[in-house]
Amino acid sequence: MNDLSKRLISGLIGSIILVFIVLKGKYLLSISVYIVSLIGLREFYKAIEKSNINPIYSIGYLGSTAVFLSFLFQGRYLSLVFAIITLSLLIYNTFNSKVSLQHISMTLLGILYIPFMIFHIIYLDSTKYIWLIFIIAFGTDTFAYISGNLFGRRKLCPKISPNKTIEGSIGGILGSTILVIGYSLYFGINPIWKMIILSISCSIVSQLGDLAASKIKRVTGIKDYGFIMPGHGGVLDRFDSIIFTTPVIYYYITSFLI
């Protein structure tokens, strides 16, 4: 089986599982997001170790679990959780001579970057808005790939991701916007002009999430974050754009649509 076949099959299976989990929602969605976040956090920490920085895994996992529990209670104790995480890291640094400020900083960044950001999916559970996360993120990625192959000439960020083009980026934005308009019309989400603004903004953010993850791979000298999905890499390779897009969609919807 060649790489393309593996990519298509694993992508199809992954999509079916994703749709099933989102449709079921509730505890299945929450636990699934929690597991994905921990795998993604581990991939991030493993990548950072390539730069001779040693994150504190125990605090990272425990902190992420506390953040997850806070989200289940609608973020009621989130400030307290992050205060405890910060204090724990600083105390750990004080009494462990082998730990540097870089180590504790990257430990905290990992929690903020992956679990905290992606846990916003929980807030959108059982709403018609939750599908916008995947429509925009995956739609942008798909249309950017197609447009880039057909029309790509000018490089977008050659030092970070040499295969991405400006034409592909624009195609991703236009394609995801068309999908969002269709989705909004079907489910009666109004006004449409606000949905267009959301789609364009989040499509750009989605691509920034992809570039941010690619930059970390460049700096740490790795090709993929993991091998959890054949042909797709690790969790961060597939969810990098979703991590960036999810909180933007949530806060936009709660601020301007609900």
The pLDDT tens digits for 179-206 are 999 999 999 999 999 999 999 999 999 9
pLDDT, the chain, mean: 93
- Provide the greatest CA pair distance for the chain: 59
Per residue in 100-122, pLDDT (tens digit) is: 999 999 999 999 999 999 999 99
Distance CA(102)–CA(123), nearest Å, equals 32
Q: In this structure, what are the phi and psi dihedrals at residue 189, rounded to the nearest 5 degrees?
A: -90, 120
Does residue 167 share a domain with residue 189? yes
Work out whether the CA dihedral 159, 163, 165, 169 comes out positive or negative: negative
114 in the same domain as 44: yes
Instruction: Name the domain boundary from 97, 125, 153.
Output: 125
Across 145-157, b (16+ Cβ under 10 Å) vs e yields: bebbeeebeeebb
Q: Are residues 133 and 255 in the same domain?
A: yes
233 pairs with which residues across the strands? 229
Residue 34 CA, distance from chain mean position:
13
Domain end among 125, 141, 174:
125
pLDDT digit string, tens, across residues 26-59: 999 999 999 999 999 999 999 999 999 999 999 9
The domain in which residue 144 lies consists of 127-258
Contact call for residues 235 and 39 (beta carbons, < 8 A) = yes
- Give CB contacts under 8 A, 24+ apart, made by 92-97: 92/56, 92/59
- CA 225 → CA 76, 106, 214, distances in Å? 32, 16, 10
For residues 244 and 163, state if they share a domain.
Answer: yes
Domain count, the chain: 2
Mean pLDDT of 73-90: 94
Q: What is the pLDDT of residue 1?
A: 55
Residue at 57 is within a domain: yes
Last residue of a domain, one of 125, 141, 172: 125
Q: Looking at the predicted structure, is the pLDDT value of residue 7 above 80? A: no
Helix, strand or coil, per DSSP, at residue 258: coil
**CB contact burial 114-139 (16+ within 10 A = b; e otherwise):** bbbbbbbbbbbbeeebbbbbbbbbbb
Assigned domain for 61 exists: yes
**Shared domain check, 131 and 116:** no
Give tens-digit pLDDT for 119-132: 999 999 999 999 99
Q: What is the pLDDT of residue 167?
A: 96
Which pLDDT score is estimated for 246? Answer: 97
